[in-house]
Amino acid sequence: MSKHLRTFFSVCALILLAVFVMRLRADMWTTVNWLMLGMSAVVCLLVFRCFVFVFNYSYSLACLLNGSLIALTGETLAGYLLGGLMAAYGLRLFAFSWVRTRGHSYASRMARIRADHANTPVAVQAILWLQCTVVYTFHLFGIYIAAQQGALTSAVLVGALIILAGLVLEAVADMHKQSAKNAQPDAFVRSGLYKHWRHPNFVGEIVVQLGIIVVGASVVSGAWGNVAAVLTTPVYIVILMLYQSWQADLNMQQKYGDQPEFQAYIKNSGGIVPHI
């Protein structure tokens, strides 16, 4: 992760921590909010097992558990729809992360990650735990508000459809990529959705976040409400995915750049937008 992205992540965490204190002092922090905070704090403890786990396992578990909590406690159609979608998204992502990190094609990368973790000070891990706990707590804040309001407005339905589209796109893209890597671990992926599109998996994640933004923007009011529901966690993840797609292109160029078929693939494929 680049220095600028790390700084943006830390700023988001600090802003959201301030929002938490403000809502707490205003007696606006509900029992459900405490449960969301507690679940995020518990799943983020995985950072002490391996710091990378907080970005895949902890993130997906926070979506699964907090989405389920929103669906069950909201007891509204909006809550069931949006919370259920995010729970399904988290469950799918957790299952994929579990399979990928144990796959043969990922073994060398996991070895490097574990070596980096061993050299990461516990104090740094603790700071990362706190930051991710706060960020994941507020990730579904807009969906929580929509569930409490309960109205199935056109914006809520549009947001839900966008989340569903992103979920399906990311699931299919991950399936195609993992299947190709299992067959040829050392080759670049150019089958399925990747035939003319280098990063459909990242785009799927971006689409999910855009759906969350649409929902949040339609139900919250005031500057701090928009900061909590729209302008921090979802926006950060969108920027992160754009950076990851750029970084992935660089990595592939370094690894496969001397292969003529890779250069032909680059010319006939798009990164964020598929080549037509």
Which range among 91-95, 108-112, 234-238 shows the weakest confidence by mean pLDDT?
108-112
φ and ψ of 27, to 5 deg: 60, 40
Q: Are 85 and 163 in contact (CB under 8 A)?
A: yes
Query: What is the pTM (predicted TM-score) of this model?
Result: 0.95
Cα dist from 247 to 195, 217, 231, 233, whole Å: 19, 30, 24, 21
- Does 106 score more than 80 pLDDT? no
- Can you tell me the mean pLDDT for 51-69? 97
- Can you tell me the mean pLDDT for 164-173? 98
pLDDT the model gives residue 188: 93
List the chain domain ranges. 3-267
pLDDT the model gives residue 107: 81
**To the nearest whole percent, how much of the chain has pLDDT over 70?**
100
pLDDT the model gives residue 108: 83
- Does 260 score more than 90 pLDDT? yes
Nearest 5°: the CA angle 32, 26, 34 is 20
- Can you tell me the mean pLDDT for 103-111? 81
- Does 26 score more than 70 pLDDT? yes
Residue scoring higher pLDDT (32 or 108):
32
- Can you tell me the mean pLDDT for 160-171? 98
- Can you tell me the mean pLDDT for 175-197? 92
- Does 1 score more than 70 pLDDT? no
User: Helix 200-219 and helix 154-183: axis angle, to 10°?
Assistant: 160
As a whole number of angstroms, the distance between CA 139 and CA 149 comes to: 18
